[in-house]
Amino acid sequence: MMDQGLARYETTLAGLERKGRRRMLVPQAGADFSSNDYLALAGSARLAKAIASALQRGIPTGAGGSRLLRGNHPEHEALEAEAAVFFGAERVLYFGSGYAANASLFSTLPQRGDLIVYDALVHASAHEGILAGKAQTAAAAHNDVESFAQAIEQWRAKGGTGYPWIAVESLYSMDGDRAPLAELAALAEKHDGFLVIDEAHATGVFGPDGRGFAADLENRENVIVLHTCGKALGVSGALLGASAVLCDYLVNRARGFIYSTAPSPLMAAAVREALRGLVDEPQRRTDFDELRNFANAELTAKLGVAGSGSQILPVLIGDNGQAVRVAARMRAEGFDIRAIRPPTVPEGTARLRIAITLNVDRSTISRMFTRLAAIMTEERP
């Protein structure tokens, strides 16, 4: 009986295999061209010391409960207070992950009768919340302000009376391009709406002191900003900056916040240290800016494609199988590169997502692009 119960899963996996879409867990090995540890903080002595000293101060490993119960540790509150000052938000809430924060905010804040207009390329975690919520939804063409405007106008013309919500990333995770934030903020103002900006890939890297591209918008009461802590900050969790009333509402209504054990207080201590490091170790970001510019120039020189300008450098391949083969050959040569396939990216746009971090140096980047150019030519049908 169980054989048959499991067979349907095997059938699905076999189907994924045929389409070149079956995923495997591949151990990390070789030079890091795929993590989001942009500033090489995850394995840094600075964060290790912060954890060691937190342990010495008696900070517990586990929170022991939900934030609404016994799990609300002073370390969480200290982080939130410091982060609010750092990012210039009225209030900040610390979530266990960016996924949980996005799923919570989109399923909780937009109300029935509201409209969420989301960029076609927003992250799966935003979709999770959007699908679970009660607001109407519309997709806007990627980075096309006019498309956002039209969606709102059409909704109003059909009698929409609630508030519009605009959902974007400041730096897109799979394309490495930037959102037109100033225009989107103006659009939100014009329509008396909210703007939600996911800074996952910009936090720590861009903006004054690494505060992100939305640094000058973060104090507006109609703007909600998400800073994930597992990428450039090298730890885990996410800091959601918003007006005090919206944060208070989330504390009361966001199921992902309420019905979940609070993040480890040790991680909160490490995130505090990472934020301090952004201010007192600016050299890290300067080094990173230089390395990122170097990598963009190398990409163009060796592969003849324009770089995104950011640390996320997509190399479009198109065919799933070919993308997987090229990535596997690069890994075999010591370059940890991963293929990104649908449904993470649109059909027919399988790619290598090359991420530049301070875990690699210039000569490794150079060698990697030389080999990539050769292997891509060999694998071309």
Ligand X SMILES: Cc1ncc(COP(=O)(O)O)c(C=O)c1O
Residues contributing to the site for ligand X (CB under 6 A): 97-99, 102, 123, 125, 169, 173, 198, 200, 228, 230, 238
Long-range contacts of 254-259 (CB under 8 A, 24+ apart): 254/104, 254/105, 254/107, 254/108, 255/104, 255/107, 255/108, 256/95, 256/100, 256/101, 256/103, 256/104, 256/107, 257/67, 257/93, 257/95, 257/100, 257/104, 258/66, 258/67, 258/68, 259/66
Between 167 and 375, CB nearer to ligand X: 167
| Beta-sheet strands, E only, within 211-334 | 223-228, 238-242, 312-318
Residue 356: closest CA among 327, 324, 314? 314
Between 99 and 288, CB nearer to ligand X: 99
Residue of 169, 175, 199, 298 marked catalytic: 169
Q: Kindly state the smallest distance separating residue 100's Cβ from ligand X, in Å.
A: 7
Between 98 and 164, CB nearer to ligand X: 98
Residue of 80, 201, 298, 359 marked catalytic: 201
Burial (CB < 10 A; 0-12, 13-18, 19+), residue 8, is exposed
Q: Kindly state the smallest distance separating residue 249's Cβ from ligand X, in Å.
A: 21
Residue of 76, 123, 191, 227 marked catalytic: 123
Q: Kindly state the smallest distance separating residue 228's Cβ from ligand X, in Å.
A: 4
Catalytic-residue membership of 169: yes
Residue of 143, 173, 308, 320 marked catalytic: 173
Catalytic-residue membership of 231: yes
Catalytic-residue membership of 123: yes
Q: Kindly state the smallest distance separating residue 230's Cβ from ligand X, in Å.
A: 4
> How is residue 243 written in tokens?
């007006």
Residue 270: closest CA among 132, 33, 78, 4? 78
Q: Kindly state the smallest distance separating residue 8's Cβ from ligand X, in Å.
A: 29
Between 125 and 308, CB nearer to ligand X: 125
Catalytic-residue membership of 378: no
Residue of 119, 198, 298, 336 marked catalytic: 198
Catalytic-residue membership of 125: no
Between 9 and 259, CB nearer to ligand X: 259
> What residue number has its CB nearest to ligand X?
98
| Beta-sheet strands, E only, within 61-169 | 91-95, 115-119, 136-140, 164-169
Residues recognised as catalytic: 36, 123, 169, 173, 198, 201, 231
